[in-house]
Chain A
Amino acid sequence: MLPTTLNESQIWEALKEVEDPEMPISLVDMGMVFDVSVEGANTKIQLGLTATACPAIDFIFYDIRERLKKEGCEDIEIELVWDPPWTKERISEEGRFILSTWGLSV
């Protein structure tokens, strides 16, 4: 497949399908995607983690790359953001709803 370039909103849409490895919420709804920028064939994603010791970094990076590869993006740069830090306020309404119900259906 020839490398195609997606625009930024298409990248956001694709990232909405990448789940946090520890719960059924997308990285976007978790508020972990801080910024997406496309320059030529290069896609740059700024990602905020909930903790520096995130045990799932490998999975998150891998899942992002795999998802975007499906769209033909090959040149993907993922940069971690700490300032401003990720906070719970970044979680979307949908994310909050999933968080409040997930696993609590005893």
Chain B
Amino acid sequence: MATLSDEALKQKIEKGHLIETTEEMTEGYKKALIQILLVQADTELMSAPSYYMAARSAPSMNTRLSAYAVIQDELGHAHITYQLLEDLGMDKEYLIYGRKPHEFKNPYGFDQPLETWVELVVANAYFDRAGITLLGDPFENTSYGPWKRSLVKIDKEELFHLRHGEVWMKRLCEAGGQAKEEIQRAADWMFPMGVEWFGMPDHLKRHTAQLEYKLKGKTNDELRQIWLSAVVPLSESCGIHVPAHFDEAQQEYVLDYEFPVDYDPSQKRWKFDSPVSWDQVFERWKKRGPYNEIYVKSIQKHYKDFMAMLNGGN
């Protein structure tokens, strides 16, 4: 562990120094780094079963192939990120196969069932846009060298997912009729899910260890604005209504509802007339969404039995 104090480390990082090894880290730095990497790894991993569920209803061989390519990429990104965690002294195998479903740190959005191919399209447009926004930040700003370098491949591939989502969203909306209605229905629950993805607003939570150590460079609200500035115009250009608009006076995107609000996962419906506190949101997140166990199980299902057999036990 570093001989430097936390303050000295932060000053060094402030001057643009990249951290390369655990020897250079303080306890606080390492803890914050592990926390942020675990969220990324778990998010990549749990997107795979949720996208797979949706890919089952792909309407053609070509669209199924695109969906599987996205799934393979996400598994690959998870692999890269768990490997980074292993290099920090964590046990990759335990992280993937040993934890309980509720211990995974993926956002609430990937605890939801993606039931149709159209939901995959909108997920690629909205959720992968959130992913790119969140990972584009450390790619530019992070003080941890190995993470920064790993994001070259990840960001490249996420661009294809985004394009997959955006192109199909446009095409299905141009076709109109039932296809467009399905996109609208998906957007109705996925858009606010994306808004929530970026967490608590800055006025409630400003300084975090992640920012102080420059693990990332932008605040929650800044990232949310970047996401909105991509997703709102995209949706509008498709003729899809989302509850947000650009406010000329404030020169930024604002939501048309009081944020945060209550969500009914069994109906996949946001209750826009029921504002809630952030404590209530955290409680909902902690309780996990309806597919948390199902998705984690689909990754872990065969591990234990196979390993027991391989090792000669039962």
Contacts and interface: CB of A to CB of B under 8 A. Distances in A.
By DSSP majority rule, is chain A's interface helix, strand, loop, or mixed?
loop
Contacts of B148: 106
A103 B149 contact: no
Interface of B: 62-63, 65-66, 68-70, 148-149, 152-153, 155-156, 159-160, 163-164, 167, 171
Contacts of A21: 160, 163
Given A102-B156, A103-B153, A106-B152, 13 more contacts: A21-B160, A21-B163, A23-B156, A55-B66, A55-B69, A56-B160, A58-B62, A58-B66, A59-B167, A62-B171, A103-B152, A103-B156, A106-B149
Interface in A59-87: 59, 62
Contacts of B66: 55-56, 58
By DSSP majority rule, is chain B's interface helix, strand, loop, or mixed?
helix
B248 to A, nearest CB: 33
A102 B159 CA distance: 13
A53 interface: yes
Contacts of B171: 62
Given A103-B152, A103-B155, A106-B149, A55 B65 contact: yes
B105 to A, nearest CB: 26
Contacts of A55: 65-66, 68-70, 160
A21 B167 CA distance: 11
Contacts of A106: 148-149, 152
